[in-house]
Structure 1
Amino acid sequence: MSVDVEGERSGEMTLAFELDAIRQFDDPATVFEDAREWSRYVGVVSNDTDAVAAFVAEHDLFQDFALGDRDIWLAMEGIRESSDAPRHVFVGTTPEDQRVADATGWEFRRPADVAQAAGWDLETSEQPEPGPLTRLLGRVSARLFGRSDR
């Protein structure tokens, strides 16, 4: 966390990640650590506050937001009203996340955009093996195109 010489939180923004958005990052702990360099407050929000608590504990993150049992709409509104940072950025993944941001006065960003801007890695998931039908169609297509080229 950025702290000025008087021990006050400093930084240009309050940064909130929707739970599904922070899960897209390869190393959420690094994301939080880096974000604290320029953010006054950093945290995770979701309608499922138990899942947020579990995720925060699993990744040993320091959550600046006390969510209680509020839904995401009330949580985002409350965080916005209590934060004295000049910017409020909400990282989300869905149109609903965008609506929450717009209605509560937050800038909306997607994980890929903030990852690129901050130099964070997104989690890479291996593509699943193709199923039998996909393999069969691939073979048929290859044979058809292979024979037509002769």
Structure 2
Amino acid sequence: MTQDQPNRLDRIEATQAVHSQILNELAVAHRELTEFSVQQAQRTEERLTRSEQLAQQNSEAIAQLVTATNRNTAAIARHDEALTRIEEQTRQNAENMSRLEQRMNQLSELVTTSTTETIQLVARQAVQAERDRQAWQEDRQTWQAEIRRIWEYLERQTGNGNGRSEQ
């Protein structure tokens, strides 16, 4: 192992932690978007029902126009207020959806970037591991040659191989 190999492992672990955090954030954003969509569908259904009720009230008010002009005016005013609230809520919902979509796009870009960086880091580590293996193999061969040379020297020094010189 080389000295900087733990640093590379630390970087991989840090990148993996960032990926996990981004994935968690994406999951939360997805869940929030789903909840928001369900709430919007419910609100739309309620507003539709309410609008149908107001339309029925307006139809009855028109039938009684001659005798209830003042009541009809009030009903129209309430209807306009409801439509204004619906329009405002629809505008706010569109803005919220736009912000959520932007955030989802940002998070998707972060995941793509982090994934690319991780792949590049793994590729660099594979190349370095191969270099380290080759260097180790060369060092091993050098040490074997050195040990063989020392052994041959010692054999020449001892002469008969029993550790005593025959001088």
Give yes or no for TM over 0.5. no
Q: Give the helix-richer structure, 1 or 2.
A: 2
TM superposition score normalised by structure 1: 0.19
Q: Give the strand-richer structure, 1 or 2.
A: 1
Higher relative contact order (CA 8 A, sep 6+): 2
